[in-house]
Amino acid sequence: MKDFAGKIAVITGGGTGMGRELARQLVAEGCNVAMCDVSAENMAETKRLCEAGQLPQGLRITTHVADVADEAQVLRFRDDVLRQQNTDHVNLVFNNAGIGGGGSMVDSTREQWERTFNICWGGVYLCTRAFLPLLIKSTEGHLINTSSVNGFWATIGPGTPHTAYSAAKFAVKGFTEALITDLRINAPHVKCSVVMPGHIGTSIAINSRIIQTGGQFDNMTPQEFAAARTRMRAMGIDDTKMSDADIQTAAVDRARRFLEEAPTTAAQAAKIILDGVKAERWRILVGRDAEMLDQRVRNAPEKAYEPDFFKSFAEEVGWQIGR
């Protein structure tokens, strides 16, 4: 797809981060956008930002509250898109919504684990089920599924278990790669791409916690303090010198730094993704860190989970996360 003008794009998780920037850049190119999110307030802000520029006459930006892990809500989202965009097809579907959390099979609750997996994998699956027929109805369609570098490397450093997210992102990558052949045979006018971002400056750490707990960001539970202390000890840090309040403050600070100290901004990431779609690339690595990690894991797969592999990679790209 060389040109987005006049097309219709669906974006999941359009409330903040990369979803918001995809919406802004698509609208700037004259593309109609229908987005969903669990936050109506954040989508209203995305819509306001999209409308700040000069919009082509008749361009539609619609917002839909829907949880991508809930099939009934996804189907209602699809039906509302058809009605409010006044269409029988769509051209682009960005399965972008995702959260972290539920990292450990040992000390996360099953509920936390499955919430992350069901959004990051289940959301991609359910939205593909719902929207693929509408892509097939178009004359030119493209499905873009956001995985992560955690789709080929299942860790964010030796001090943090990361099982639910990694399992989901590997699933998104495998599913999308298998779709290449399926679509080539059964719907050759529809393309697909898997997006694998490195560290991108977004509020995902804060949003994930709000979605996981259904509430605030800065309210760690006694179990979470205990898990944080276990991780600190595993990394050789003396946790006895830190109060629970210190640990809470450090978590808030880490989330702020995740947003502010990333090597790639959400706007830069959205541009890389959209350029990749225009070039019909099926694999879109986002950021120099993602490209370097891809190479390193290929060069030494057996070493990928060794502390030294992480240390030397983090030093080379300047990653602060996981350190």
**Interface with ligand NAD (CB under 6 A):** 12-13, 15-19, 36-39, 42, 67-69, 96-99, 119, 123, 146, 148, 197, 199-200, 202-204, 207, 211, 266
Q: What residues does 283 pair with on adjacent strands? A: 194
The closest of 196, 192, 197 to 177, measured between CA atoms, is: 192
Going by C-alpha positions, the residue among 217, 193, 183 that lies closest to residue 96 is: 193
Q: Which is nearer to ligand NAD, 19 or 161 (CB)?
A: 19
For 10, 65, 82, 116, 133, the CA distances from 86, given in Å and listed in that order, are 14, 18, 6, 33, 16
Burial class (CB in 10 A: 0-12, 13-18, 19+), 239: middle
Q: What is the CA radius of gyration of the chain?
A: 20
Question: What minimum distance in Å lies between the beta carbon of 147 and ligand NAD?
Answer: 7
Considering beta carbons, is residue 63 or 207 the nearer one to ligand NAD? 207
CB of residue 67 vs ligand NAD: minimum separation in angstroms? Answer: 4
Cα 65 to Cα 16, 216, 314, distances in angstroms: 14, 19, 37
Question: CB-wise, 19 or 225, nearer to ligand NAD?
Answer: 19
Q: Which is nearer to ligand NAD, 69 or 227 (CB)?
A: 69
Residue 39 vs 193, nearer CB to ligand NAD: 39
CB of residue 15 to ligand NAD, shortest distance in Å: 3
Distance of alpha carbon 207 from alpha carbon 214, whole angstroms: 10
Nearer to ligand NAD, 162 or 191 (CB): 162
Tell me whether residue 99 or residue 284 sits nearer to ligand NAD (CB atom). 99
Q: What is the separation, in whole angstroms, between the first and last Cα of the chain?
A: 40
CA distance 79 to 87: 10
Output 119 or 183, the one with its CB closest to ligand NAD.
119
The structure tokens listed for 56 are: 């082509």
Cβ proximity of 146 and 195 under 8 Å: yes
Both tokens of residue 88? 């029988």
Exposed/middle/buried for 198, CB within 10 Å: 0-12, 13-18, 19+? buried
H-only helix segments in 152-287: 163-186, 204-213, 222-234, 244-260, 266-278
